[in-house]
Chains A and B, each alone.
Chain A
Amino acid sequence: QQQVKQSPQSLIVQKGGIPIINCAYENTAFDYFPWYQQFPGKGPALLIAIRPDVSEKKEGRFTISFNKSAKQFSLHIMDSQPGDSATYFCAARKGSNYKLTFGKGTLLTVNP
């Protein structure tokens, strides 16, 4: 059972575009939703995270939108740059359970 479903698998945008990556979850006990960014040959690194008591969180050009009733959250990248080309993973965690459950990842390509 896939607890966190991520889409699309891959995404190509032009520089300046606004790629949107979506994730959906089933378990209403999840209460922490991070996004990780991974460049080729590197380990994932935390990009931004949100808790369900807020509907939106922005850090620089990266924004998480969270819809608790729909059990969905998404990552928006404003004014995307070629340097944003990477694989992005959403994840979820519940309460005091330390385990992170990851989505399958989205390969983003930003063309110059």
Chain B
Amino acid sequence: EAQVTQNPRYLITVTGKKLTVTCSQNMNHEYMSWYRQDPGLGLRQIYYSMNVEVTDKGDVPEGYKVSRKEKRNFPLILESPSPNQTSLYFCASSLQGLDTQYFGPGTRLTVL
């Protein structure tokens, strides 16, 4: 089944404790992206990647890192999480940048 998977789906952590949210797609998509969704703010793009080893900042990149060493994986790294990073995170992918984006199921992160 073609899908975007994210792990973990739920995470509660404490300020400053490094964490990684994984994203994987099995559709051989070139383009991958991370969004955060907050009430009243909609979806905001954090980072995106047009292909392996090619990444760029979205609208709200501060406090996040990404890497794209393999085509199928695009992990989101929070080196020192803070409470304002408490949010619902979505990974998305598309065949190429201008194609339909397929979203993962989301990761709900709480930073205490």
Contacts and interface: CB of A to CB of B under 8 A. Distances in A.
B105 A43 contact: yes
Interface string B4-43: 1000000000000000000000000001010000001111
Contacts, number: 51
Interface string B79-112: 0000000000010100001101111111000000
Nearest to A34: B100
B94 to A, nearest CB: 8
B76 interface: no
A46 B98 CA distance: 13
- Taking residues whose C-beta sits less than 8 angstroms from the other chain, chain B's interface range is 20 to 34
B50 interface: yes
Nearest to A96: B98
Interface of A: 6, 9, 32, 34, 36, 41-46, 49, 89, 93, 96, 98-100, 102-105
